[in-house]
Amino acid sequence: MSETFKATAICTRVVDYRENDRLLELCSLEHGKITAVARGAKKASAKLKFATSPFCFGDYMLIGTNGKYIVCDCVEIESFSAITEDLNSYYVGFAMLEALSKTLIAGQPNSEAVLAVVRGLKSICFDDIEPYSAFNNCLLVILESLGYNLDFSTCSSCGCVIDGDAVFSVADGIICEHCGSYDGIKLSRNIVKCLHHPIECEDESLSKMANILLRDIVYLMLNVKINCLNTAL
């Protein structure tokens, strides 16, 4: 029997489906990733059009069973439409959605990861935080929510306080330059500082450079490649 339920979710992907419908990927707090059909959403008169755009965060009412769901209503919490006002923010916003989409699993809620993206978008749109520093913070919270806590302050091998360059390796995490092996990802002193307190980093090009390295780290740890910034850089 079909039942109606609520999912507080952010819309991460949209594809046209059949003649008038749209297929939505929703990353929800309660149920992990959900795919749902929005019937008639392509029609100009569709009342739920707003709910079928990427970045829409809202309370979606869904009906269905076994992975087959239909959107029957949505109450918008935030549209994040301000993200489109700046090209850099727009690309980074999509990269946040991509990171969430590729790490969240159907039926396995991870509200911390969903909220990391919602807060990240909020900080770009409303708090004037530099997009790449917001994204670095968001990725680190997503990693932490999956059990990968990167500590940029202490060497995970010898325990010293890191105050110079560092190295990341899958086996050891973040280690100081003295313990560092040759096959890891090298992180300069400035990159280490930037990733230790991402939001406080006011140097845009440093945040951007740190972001490239952090995405390499995410790839090595989770086997997740975030592609949509490659064209922006």
The site for Zn ion (CB under 5 A) is made up of 155, 157-158, 176, 179
The DSSP secondary structure of 83-144, one letter per residue, reads GGGSHHHHHHHHHHHHHHHHH-BBTB--HHHHHHHHHHHHHHHTS---HHHHHHHHHHHHHH
Q: Give least dist CB 154 to Zn ion, A.
A: 9
- Minimal distance in Å, beta carbon 179 to Zn ion? 3
Beta carbon nearer to Zn ion, 136 or 157: 157
CA 182 vs CA 92, 154, 178, 233: distances in Å: 31, 19, 11, 27
In the complex with Zn ion, which residue's Cβ is closer, 106 or 158? 158
Question: In this complex, which beta carbon is closest to Zn ion, that of residue 67 or of residue 164?
Answer: 164
Helix (H) or strand (E) holding 196: helix 189-196
Of residues 193, 103, 197, 111, the one with CA closest to residue 148: 103
φ, ψ dihedrals at 208, nearest 5°? -65, -45
Least gap, CB of 168 to Zn ion (angstroms): 13
Closest distance to Zn ion from the beta carbon of 162 (Å): 8
CA-to-CA distance for 96 and 119, rounded, in angstroms? 11
Find all residues with CB under 8 Å of 53, minimum gap 6, and list them: 11, 14, 79
Q: Of 75 and 158, which has the nearer Cβ to Zn ion?
A: 158
Q: How far is the CB of 169 from Zn ion (least distance, A)?
A: 12
User: Residue 64, CB half-sphere, CA atoms under 13 Å: how many?
Assistant: 16
Min. distance of Cβ 221 from Zn ion in angstroms? 20
51 or 179: CB nearest Zn ion: 179
Nearer to Zn ion, 158 or 170 (CB): 158
Contact 155/176 with Cβ under 8 angstroms?
yes
Q: Which two tokens stand for residue 52?
A: 């079928």
